[in-house]
Structure 1
């Protein structure tokens, strides 16, 4: 099986997120590892209402959080409005601000300690939408370099944070089924020592499709390596370690 490479920062983030008792602790660890000013995680239970964010954890200052809630800023916050409908990660500089209420909100946010630059990562999990946001006070060019360097890692971390949040909310009784049949099949054959080429032949799928299934299975299980994902899947009895078909 092909060995996966991951940076020291991503491995450190994975360990700290896994060890964290509360999601807020995981967010604090994340911002320290990547030298970010603030981090925020929003979870919306459905995609029908973009302001449905009943579960939020953030490291912003308490005074700003209280002001944000009191003024109902979730209804004008462009990061939330964009983040819970977008499919791909985005730099805050991509957001076009035309509404005067949005401009007033952003000015107020700056006055209360919110840093100028941000990067937000949408997470789509069946009927759930979530958003991980990283906020930084570094200047524009430095922020561009940081995004270029860590973008792929942050996408991985967003999935780990999301699984942590779901675990904190529901424990082992997640109401949304984690793995699809195809993801289970790909994990099963990977656990038996097959790489993407071998699995694609066995299941009559393209290698790209197999890699996509394996990647989504890793995300859903909260693992950054395929080996960890297959081990966890066996531990949870989602796949059989020796049989010819997944459970």
Structure 2
């Protein structure tokens, strides 16, 4: 990991470590904001993977927000055995379809390690054993503790080296520096005219920045845009 120059190379190292433990696939996901939105919906989780079967990703997009293993991460902080999730009484029909989709690709046995980060951010790693792994019951018994240590060491290294901005996420919102400034002042209750005086810009320019921010944040008005910006850690 110390020789990795970017997130992609770091993920290669993670996959190699997971492989040495006995797993055949690895994934890492990151949400730079609160996964559960104010309206009760869930931010979709983009999976950054290694050694997955070809062709799986396009079909998986419909399950990014209902991923049952992702949702299970919010019932605690301990490693999650996929089999336990599959046997849960709280699984929805859409999540059952997610199980079936992954199972069609031979991806039905794994262990997921969640990390709940400061300011509501979230990271997750899963180590998966496909059909080629013949000793799953032995593997899962001894793998939980080493995977827990690997995940926390990996996440710490990623953030220490500033690679977190390189992680592909499902709905990363990028505001310009001026849009962030406008949102910050709007969050403090300033009007467009007041922000224009503060930033030495015309009111029309400020209104344009705020309008652009509202669109980028999938909001319907200024108040909702500010709330969404806060939720995403943008202001």
Aligned to 1:130: 123
1:95-151 deviations in whole A, cap 9, x for unaligned? 11642222222112222x242211011112212211111111369993232232222
Matched, 1:46 2:26: no
1:133-184 deviations in whole A, cap 9, x for unaligned? 111136999323223222221111001221243331259xxxxxxxxxxxxx
Residues 66 and 48 from structure 1, CA distance in 2 versus in 1: closer, same or farther, beyond 3 angstroms?
Answer: closer
Q: Residue 14 of structure 2: SS of its match in structure 1?
A: helix
Report if the CA contact (8 A) 1:114-1:135 is conserved.
no
Report if the CA contact (8 A) 1:43-1:130 is conserved.
yes
Report if the CA contact (8 A) 1:37-1:135 is conserved.
yes
Report if the CA contact (8 A) 1:23-1:57 is conserved.
no
Residues 120 and 100 from structure 1, CA distance in 2 versus in 1: closer, same or farther, beyond 3 angstroms?
Answer: same
- Equivalent positions of 1:126-165 (< 5 A) are 126-127=118-119, 128-137=121-130, 142-165=135-158
Matched, 1:86 2:70: no
**TM-score (structure 1 length as normaliser):** 0.53
Report if the CA contact (8 A) 1:27-1:58 is conserved.
no
Matched, 1:61 2:53: yes
> Which 4+ runs in 1 deviate beyond 6 A?
none
Residues 64 and 158 from structure 1, CA distance in 2 versus in 1: closer, same or farther, beyond 3 angstroms?
Answer: same
Q: State which drifts further: 135-144 or 94-103.
A: 135-144
Report if the CA contact (8 A) 1:122-1:130 is conserved.
yes
Report if the CA contact (8 A) 2:43-2:65 is conserved.
no
Unaligned runs of 5+ in 2: 167-235
Unaligned runs of 5+ in 1: 1-16, 172-247
Aligned to 1:20: 4
Matched, 1:168 2:145: no
Residues 141 and 25 from structure 1, CA distance in 2 versus in 1: closer, same or farther, beyond 3 angstroms?
Answer: closer
Computed over aligned residues only, the root mean square deviation of the Cα atoms, in angstroms, reads 2.8
Query: C-alpha separation between the residues in 2 aligned to 1:53 and 1:19?
Result: 31
Report if the CA contact (8 A) 2:45-2:70 is conserved.
no
Q: State which drifts further: 24-33 or 127-136.
A: 24-33
1:28 deviates by 2.5
Query: C-alpha separation between the residues in 2 aligned to 1:61 and 1:27?
Result: 18
Aligned to 1:108: 101
Q: State which drifts further: 48-57 or 76-85.
A: 48-57
**TM-score (structure 2 length as normaliser):** 0.55
Higher gyration radius (CA): 2
Q: How many residues align?
A: 152
Query: C-alpha separation between the residues in 1 aligned to 2:98 and 2:12?
Result: 28
